[in-house]
């Protein structure tokens, strides 16, 4: 049984990783999360009673807290997901992104290095630091056939992606300079259950149900490769347990879609699954689609070549975009109490789980 320290485990992807580890493995999870606005412990309610799950509220910028957690729980691996991740928020207030994504990653690396250096030889050899990043560090693709690979040069376009690119460089530098056994993964756009309603897919689902406009940037022709979050969680666990030290693995869903196609498909699914939920006077959900001014520095196309992780670690996504999106829409229809608590802010008052 491994002990895995997951930073940002109350976030969207982090909570999926925690749920996967508890539900599908015999390992123990130490969930370290600051509980910013995007941290939601109700996303972990199904595993909070497990004796293999422990929650620690702490900031990755707090070196003393990190030192205590490492000493207390003696993790065999770190999966680093804690990050500020919303592009629009990074444009409005980049300082938080520099602090968490750069300073926080540096602080975590140093705490990890100090802990790793004092481990017995066998434990030090098997220890892993897995840094979870994004395809946005690569900038955008202009050709219709190009794909991001593990060797694509970095060209970030937003404060968010620049801060994540910087954190990637720090992790690789700590591996090269100090020998810290690190791995890096870069993923495409995630979607699925428990997604905080500020990102495209949950915003469109919940706006449609409320009869509010469905705002689409520009012409909606931006292309993204969509990855179902539970597929991503499986891939991340495969990397931290079987990946080679110093390697980078791209994780993608093999599901490229224009943003406008995504919105239209959500509308079609709601027509099928929730026709009775339309607000009075609305004929079709797609009538709510509204085009708005594009945001600054908006990348046109992201697309991941995930061939390496398939060849070397045997991972492939289980969901197509159609099956994953149907599951996602149905989940939001079935879990109104979860997203209502997020929208009205009451989720921040709840503290579930095993808290120390």
pLDDT confidence of residue 297: 72
Question: Between β-strands 53-57 and 28-33, what pairing exists: parallel, antiparallel or unpaired?
Answer: parallel
* Whole-number pLDDT of residue 41: 96
Instruction: List the CATH code of the domain at 3-193+227-256+302-320.
Output: 3.40.50.720
With a CB cutoff of 8 Å and minimum separation 6, the contacts of 58 are: 32, 33, 34, 65, 66, 69
Q: Is the pTM of this model over 0.95?
A: no
What pLDDT is recorded for position 299? Answer: 73
Catalytic sites, residue numbers: 135-136, 160
**Residue 244, Ramachandran bin (φ over 0: left; ψ between -120 and 50: alpha; else beta):** beta
CB atoms within 10 A of CB 337: 10
| Domain spans, the chain | 3-193+227-256+302-320
d(CA 127, CA 74): 11
pLDDT at 141: 85
3-class state of residue 119 by DSSP? coil
Per-10-residue mean pLDDT of the chain, 356 residues long, equals 97 98 98 94 97 98 98 98 87 93 98 98 98 94 83 94 97 98 96 93 97 94 94 98 98 93 98 97 97 81 93 97 98 97 84 41
Rounded to 5 degrees, φ, ψ at 33 are -145, 140
Q: What is the pLDDT of residue 355?
A: 38
Please list the residues that pair with 355 across neighbouring strands: 55
Helices and strands, counts by H and E, the chain = 13, 12
């Amino acid at each position: 049984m491994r002990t895995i320290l997951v930073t940002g485990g109350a976030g969207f992807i982090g909570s999926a990783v925690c749920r996967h580890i508890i539900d599908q493995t015999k390992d123990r999870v130490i969930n370290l999360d600051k509980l910013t606005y995007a941290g939601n412990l109700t996303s972990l309610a199904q595993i909070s009673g497990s004796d293999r799950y422990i929650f620690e509220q702490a900031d990755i910028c707090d070196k003393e807290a990190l030192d205590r957690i490492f000493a207390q729980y003696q993790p065999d691996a770190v999966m680093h997901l804690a990050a500020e991740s919303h592009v629009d928020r990074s444009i409005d207030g980049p300082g938080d992104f520099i602090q968490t994504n750069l300073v926080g990653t540096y602080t975590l690396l140093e705490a990890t290095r100090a802990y790793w250096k004092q481990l017995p030889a066998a434990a030090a050899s098997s220890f892993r630091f897995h840094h979870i990043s994004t395809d946005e560090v690569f900038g955008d693709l202009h050709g219709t056939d190009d794909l991001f690979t593990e060797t694509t040069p970095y060209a970030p376009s937003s404060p968010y992606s620049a801060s994540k690119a910087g954190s990637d460089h720090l992790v690789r530098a700590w591996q090269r300079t100090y020998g810290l056994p690190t791995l890096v993964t870069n993923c495409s756009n995630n979607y699925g259950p428990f997604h905080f309603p500020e990102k495209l897919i949950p915003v469109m689902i919940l706006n449609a149900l409320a009869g509010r406009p469905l705002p689409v940037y520009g012409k909606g022709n931006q292309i993204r490769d969509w990855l179902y979050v539970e597929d991503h969680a499986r891939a991340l666990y495969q990397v931290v347990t079987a990946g080679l030290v110093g390697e980078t693995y791209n994780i993608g869903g093999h599901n490229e879609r224009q943003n406008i196609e995504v919105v239209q498909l959500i509308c079609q699914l709601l027509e099928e699954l929730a026709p009775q939920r339309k607000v009075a006077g609305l004929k079709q959900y797609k009538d709510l689609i509204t085009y708005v001014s594009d945001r600054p520095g908006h990348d046109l196309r992201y697309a991941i070549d995930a061939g390496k992780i398939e060849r070397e670690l045997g991972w492939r996504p289980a969901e197509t975009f159609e099956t994953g999106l149907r599951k996602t829409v149905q989940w939001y229809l079935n879990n109104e109490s979860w997203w209502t608590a997020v929208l009205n802010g009451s989720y921040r008052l709840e503290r579930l789980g095993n808290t120390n």
